[in-house]
A = this chain, B = another copy of it.
């Protein structure tokens, strides 16, 4: 049985999945302290993701520590990980992650990076191998399905990649961790959504003290 195609992201109450663009803001921690825009970006990002950082599974998977919370939020992080047999991401997300992930990248499955850049597969310890796909989102999805087996394919991000799959009718369902924060500006998760094609059926709404977890099945109109 083929798995599903899904995405799962954190979103601010006003619809942003990331603070204002980081273009040109990548810097060392010392530079960051002297750059107020980058400081604000980091503070907003931390607020958006505040629900996930304390979770035990998240912390173990990123080698941040063996401590952490074990409630429903933690279960949701683990369930999202366990259902995923392969991931797809855009080039910008990969570039940011390449700098941020530990050597043992946190996917532990094949990851397909949609990019114009040609590059040999990049194998990391722990089972993550990045494959660079140069012929578009359908090809990346086909390759991801092949390796995922009966597990699901996760469109990891960023928003532009998620929207490309959503508007192409290729997403079966998605989950949003709605964080209690307003951004006012930044990257809107659903910017450019083809609302005339995408209809939603709510399948779960579950609140923790830190976020409201919403899940929807996607239908065509």
Contacts and interface: CB of A to CB of B under 8 A. Distances in A.
Interface string A191-206: 0111110111110011
Contacts of A201: 180
Given A15-B14, A205-B207, A212-B212, A194 B188 contact: no
A13 B180 CA distance: 14
Contacts of A180: 200-202, 216
Contacts of A202: 180, 207, 209, 212
**Interface residue tally on A, bucketed by range:** 20 to 34
A13 B182 contact: no
Of the listed residues A182, A183, A206, A214, the one surrounded by the most CB atoms of chain B closer than 10 A to its CB is: A182
A183 to B, nearest CB: 6
A53 interface: no
Nearest to A181: B200
A8 to B, nearest CB: 14
Nearest to A202: B180
B189 A14 contact: yes
Contact of A184 (B13, B185, B194): B194
Interface of A: 13-15, 44, 176, 178, 180-185, 188-190, 192-196, 198-202, 205-207, 209, 212, 214, 216
